[in-house]
Amino acid sequence: MSLPHVSRPVAVSLPRHGVFFAESSHDARFRMAWRRDPFHKLIYVLQNQTAYQERGREALLAAGSIVAIPAGVEHRLHDRDPATLFLLCLSPGFAQADREMAAVWQAALRACGGGRRLAPWWRRRMDGLWRRAIWEQSAGQEGGTVAVRSAAAQVLVQLARLPAGHPGDDGGRRVVSVLRDIEQSFFDEWSLDRAAARAEMSRRSFSARFRAETGMTFLEKLTELRLGHAARLLRQGQHSIVGAAFSSGYADLSHFYRLFSRRFGATPREWMRSADAAH
């Protein structure tokens, strides 16, 4: 049985843990009166388009757009075409569980308050988070509540990290977005092909724009990030050389040794000894 199309907003009752993912699939008669919700809400447009309205402003939300709405804000939706939406509803207590979570929610609100259309690579990431959350919410697996809360937190973190980009320069905006992505996941299996594909550019165009933005080649930047992280871990004295190499994205220890020694003028073991001596 498919989900019935609705002509009114779906009713949401938050569970005790304060997070609920939902779908609202509209029919041609969909109407929404002005409303205020007692919870924070993210609306992610999956299909077609709808107009998001607050008193005094309106934004058209096409597929791939997301809007963050704080609890108590009066708003409504007016479909241009019967839209399919995903909702993430959050209790104020969840969004203010601690100082860092409150800061992440405020950053996500600044990035998406009033509506924002996600670039394709950010949309793919958001799609993955949403799919995982809906599966966890429906599957009834051990730890499902923890996983749903974790997915909601990851959604907020991703929105908080959305890049400002380069106004009017789509190529530059895409390269900067990929750069920010690499800075937060350099330990993954990155390659020039993957980075160029993420930016939806050819290898040649991406390489030229990347060097213009950073002053480095893609490989030079990736190596700088990985080795810098490894050096910090070794300085802190809580990781072995094998552990620091692994945590920085290196599976080949001999390759890691060569790169590290070339970069810092000391082997990883010598680096650790110098750190011990300094303490």
What is the CATH classification number for the domain harbouring 58?
Answer: 2.60.120.10
Residue with the larger pLDDT of the pair 24 and 93: 93
**Mean of pLDDT values over 236-240:** 88
Q: Are residues 90 and 200 in the same domain?
A: no
Buried b (16+ CB within 10 A) or exposed e, 64-98: bbbbbbbeeeebbbebeebbbbbbbbbbbebbeee
Residue 205 covered by a domain: yes
Residue 67 covered by a domain: yes
Residue 5 covered by a domain: no
Residue with the larger pLDDT of the pair 72 and 31: 72
| pLDDT of the residue at 278 | 61
* Per-residue pLDDT reduced to its tens digit, 42-78: 999 999 999 999 988 899 999 999 999 999 999 999 8
Q: Are residues 191 and 59 in the same domain?
A: no
Helix 203-214 vs helix 192-199: crossing angle, to nearest 10 = 90
Q: Are residues 181 and 83 in the same domain?
A: no
Going from the C-alpha of 88 to that of each of 45, 149, 156, the distances in angstroms are: 12, 11, 10
Q: What confidence category does residue 234 fall into, taking pLDDT thresholds of 50, 70 and 90?
A: very high
Q: Are residues 101 and 175 in the same domain?
A: no
Q: Is 152's pLDDT higher than 80?
A: yes
Strand ranges, E, within the chain:
19-25, 40-47, 50-54, 57-61, 65-69, 75-79, 84-90, 116-117
| pLDDT of the residue at 164 | 65
Of 5-14, 174-183, 199-208, where does the model show the most confidence? 199-208
Percent of the chain with pLDDT over 70: 94
Q: What confidence category does residue 277 fall into, taking pLDDT thresholds of 50, 70 and 90?
A: low
Q: Which three-class secondary structure string do you get for 106-171?
A: HHHHHHHECCEECCHHHHHHHHHHHHHHHHHHHHCCCCHHHHHHHHHHHHHHHHHCCCCCCCCCHH
Q: Are residues 199 and 84 in the same domain?
A: no
**Mean of pLDDT values over 101-125:** 90
Residue 188 covered by a domain: yes
Rounded Cα distance, 275 and 265, in Å: 14
First to last CA, the chain: 66
Q: Are residues 224 and 193 in the same domain?
A: no
- Into how many domains does the chain fold? 3
Q: Are residues 102 and 186 in the same domain?
A: no
Q: Is 1's pLDDT higher than 50?
A: no
Are the C-beta atoms of 179 and 213 separated by less than 8 Å? yes
Rounded Cα distance, 268 and 259, in Å: 10
Residue 254 covered by a domain: yes
Q: Supply the range of the domain harboring residue 261.
A: 220-278
* Per-residue pLDDT reduced to its tens digit, 154-200: 999 999 988 764 444 577 778 888 898 899 899 999 999 999 988 88
Q: Are residues 174 and 83 in the same domain?
A: no
Structure tokens at 199: 């930016």
* Residue 273, domain CATH: 1.10.10.60
Give backbone dihedrals phi and psi of 11, rounded to 5 degrees, phi first.
Answer: -80, 135
Residue 4 covered by a domain: no
| pLDDT of the residue at 176 | 86
| pLDDT of the residue at 274 | 83
Q: Are residues 271 and 177 in the same domain?
A: no
Q: Are residues 97 and 154 in the same domain?
A: yes
Please state the pTM of the whole predicted model.
0.74
Strand ranges, E, within 186-265:
none
Q: Are residues 64 and 84 in the same domain?
A: yes
**Beta-carbon-side half-sphere exposure of residue 65 (alpha carbons within 13 Å):** 19
Residue 14 covered by a domain: no
Q: How many CB atoms lie within 10 A of CB 200?
A: 15
Q: Is 117's pLDDT higher than 80?
A: yes
Q: Are residues 254 and 202 in the same domain?
A: no
Residue 125 covered by a domain: no
Rounded Cα distance, 103 and 152, in Å: 15
